[in-house]
Amino acid sequence: MATTNVVNVDGARVAYRLHGRGPAVVLVSGTAALDMHWGPVIGELARHRTVISLDYSGSGDTTDDGGALSLQKLAHQVREVAGAAGVERFDLIGHSLGAAIAIQLAASSADRVRSLIVVAGFLRGAEPRLKLQFELWLDLLRTNRGAFLKLLLLSGLTPAFVSRVGISTIEDIVKEYTHLANWEGIARQVELDLAVDVSRQVERVTSPTLVVNCAYDQIVTQTPELAASIPGSTCQEISAGHLAFFEGADQFLSLATEFLRRHDA
């Protein structure tokens, strides 16, 4: 198990971990996510690369002043974590909200980002369906956290996957995560989801970019639109719901490892 390190960034104590050895790749998780939500991705990539995973504000072991979050603030945390790890240039993988953070960083620090992979990303949190969803999440975070987690799993996983693992497994996941969650931090991240708008940032992305769409995503349905907005990007699809690495990790790893190999420098 990787050791957790901490770097101070703008008053926040940002926790991060290093796995493996080789060219560096930084993973930026989605809303409410921890390292466990990458499934086998960290371990597989770490066989040939240095994988840097972090808890940006609102997640895991990171602590801060509890203030409002912004893409700029979180992108700066990602950049500073890479610097603290001694990495000048790195590949960048972002999932969902983490995709928006990764795009912000790639747009503002093109010299640092060797290549970019975004999974289940979206352009604007104000898109009507997303807005309704994020507002529902906030309501449940305030009133029924267990229902929030069940809704996240039901909408984030495919019906076939939920049926296969069964109710008891879903309940075990909810119970386990309840003890790990930073509830106030998750609410701040969802508030940022609502405010996301990377329509200008995508125009400044110059790093080679792979956009991964999840074919059965019931949470984010705008990933192809995002791909079309990033100049020169390639869009590929995996057979998974929004929580891509629970059921589509093998397909993702096949796409990602080939893409990273082509852009190694």
Q: How do residues 12-43 score in pLDDT, each as one tens digit?
A: 999 999 999 999 999 999 999 999 999 999 99
Nearest to 147 by CA among 178, 191, 115: 178
Q: How do residues 193-213 score in pLDDT, each as one tens digit?
A: 999 999 999 999 999 999 999
Residues with a known catalytic role: 96, 217, 242
Torsion, Cα of 252, 186, 36, 249 (10° steps): -10
Q: Tell me the domains of the chain and their CATH numbers.
A: 4-262 (3.40.50.1820)
Contacts of 54 (CB under 8 A, 6+ apart): 14, 15, 16, 17, 26, 27, 28, 62, 77, 78, 81
C-alpha 224/C-alpha 86 separation (Å) is: 34
Helices (H), 13-118: 41-45, 71-84, 97-108
- Per-residue model confidence (pLDDT) at position 263: 86
* pTM tops 0.85, yes or no: yes
Q: How do residues 126-141 score in pLDDT, each as one tens digit?
A: 999 999 999 999 999 9
Q: How do residues 140-193 score in pLDDT, each as one tens digit?
A: 999 999 999 999 999 999 999 999 999 999 999 999 999 899 999 999 999 999
